[in-house]
Amino acid sequence: TLNNANINVTPDLIGGNILMVAMNGAIVSTKKITDVNTEITFEGIETGIYTLTAQFESGNVSKRVYIK
Tell me whether residue 50 is exposed, middle or buried, using C-beta atoms within 10 angstroms of its C-beta: 0 to 12, 13 to 18, 19 or more.
buried
Instruction: Please state the pTM of the whole predicted model.
Output: 0.81
For residue 24, give every residue at least 6 positions away whose Cβ sits within 8 Å of its Cβ, in sequence order, or none: none
Asked if the model's pLDDT at residue 39 lies above 70, the reply is yes
d(CA 63, CA 51) in angstroms, rounded, equals 6
CA-nearest of 41, 43, 61 to 52 is 61
Question: Which residue type is seen at 23?
Answer: M
d(CA 10, CA 49) in angstroms, rounded, equals 27
Q: Using one digit for the tens of pLDDT, what is the confidence trace for 8-22?
A: 999 999 999 999 999
